[in-house]
């Protein structure tokens, strides 16, 4: 297991003022606080007017991310593909956005891209990923994520069956918050994934909803989880904990980042 701090670029994206910023503005905040490992949030493509959906503007945007990577000596350990939020479907528009985010990730040297499964059908997901990989002209690895509801793909047995159709092309991103909401035995899931586990989404909640809080702000047993990660996992302990900052002013964001770093240290030392 890697011990250095890693976070999705959305860690302080929300604030009480409702001021929106994209990765280009957020990355320097983390880098200046000493965070060197980042998970790029291509879910930004779902925001109306995102430059990432336009050819010329996206080239400029990706160029800027490349410059930031070099300037601060960053590694992009993971990225998150856009996904159909509530009320949306996996239509052609969504698939082409996902394919674009795969391409951006590969250009930026991202290790793997996290993509959500769609619905509850194993066969349906095998077909979806066959199509995406067929249409994708590149080699990036896909990490499939366990979902937050039992009406979706959530259990290790389901995810492992889907990825077994794509040896060498797909692994798993374990979302510990989702596992807590679906009342899974977290250490058992981590063990079941074993060497297929290539990424994480780390956030806490009280088991009643996916609250995306920092560790110890919910009821996850972090000692048990970290023991299992240490035993079975080689990648980063990567935050997807963007809702804690929602109750904070933009003026307090450096404190939020410092707290996240401090809690990460505590996790690693458990």
Residue 175 or 253: the one with the smaller Cβ distance to Zn ion is 175
Q: How far is the CB of 70 from Zn ion (least distance, A)?
A: 28
Q: How far is the CB of 114 from Zn ion (least distance, A)?
A: 7
Residue 66 C-beta: closest distance to Zn ion, Å: 25
Minimum Å gap between C-beta 175 and Zn ion is 4
The answer to whether the beta carbons of residues 45 and 80 sit under 8 Å apart is no
Print the binding letters for residues 228-267 with Zn ion: x by CB under 5 A, - otherwise: ------------x---------------------------
Contact between 153 and 182 (Cβ < 8 Å): no
3-state secondary structure of 226: helix
Q: Which stretch binds Zn ion (CB under 5 A): 3-11, 163-171, 174-182, 261-269?
A: 174-182
Per-residue string for binding with Zn ion, 183-222, x by CB under 5 A? ------------------x---------------------
Q: Does 175 bind Zn ion (CB under 5 A)?
A: yes
Enclosing H/E stretch for 57: helix 55-72
DSSP letter (8 states) at residue 141? E
Instruction: Tell me if 98 sits within 8 A of 81, measured CB to CB.
Output: yes
Q: Which residues are CB-contacts of 198 (< 8 A; sequence separation ≥ 6)? A: 111, 112, 141, 143, 171, 172, 173, 235
The residues binding Zn ion (CB under 5 A) are: 175, 201, 240
């Amino acid at each position: 297991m890697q011990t250095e701090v890693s976070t999705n670029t959305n860690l302080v994206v929300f604030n009480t003022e409702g001021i929106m910023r994209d990765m280009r503005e957020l990355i320097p905040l983390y880098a200046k606080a000493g965070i060197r490992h980042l998970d790029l949030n291509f879910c930004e493509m779902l925001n109306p007017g995102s430059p990432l959906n336009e050819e010329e503007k996206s080239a400029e945007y990706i160029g800027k991310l490349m410059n930031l990577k070099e300037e601060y000596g960053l590694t992009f350990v993971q990225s998150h593909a856009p996904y159909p939020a509530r009320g949306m479907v996996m239509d052609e528009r969504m698939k082409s956005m996902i394919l674009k985010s795969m391409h951006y990730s590969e250009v930026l040297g991202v290790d793997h891209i996290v993509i959500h499964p769609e619905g509850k059908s194993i066969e349906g997901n095998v077909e979806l990923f066959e199509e995406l990989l067929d249409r994708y002209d590149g080699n990036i690895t896909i990490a499939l994520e366990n979902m937050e509801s039992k009406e979706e793909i959530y259990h290790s047995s389901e995810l492992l069956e889907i990825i077994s159709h794509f040896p060498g092309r797909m692994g798993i991103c374990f979302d510990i918050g989702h596992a807590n909401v679906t009342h899974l035995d977290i250490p058992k899931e981590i063990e079941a994934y074993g060497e297929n586990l290539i990424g994480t989404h780390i956030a806490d909640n009280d088991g009643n909803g996916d609250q995306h809080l920092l560790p110890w702000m919910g009821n996850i047993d972090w000692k048990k989880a970290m023991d299992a990660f240490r035993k079975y996992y080689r990648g980063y302990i990567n935050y997807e904990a963007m809702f804690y900052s929602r109750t904070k002013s933009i003026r307090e964001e450096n404190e939020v980042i410092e707290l996240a770093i401090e809690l990460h240290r505590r996790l690693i030392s458990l």
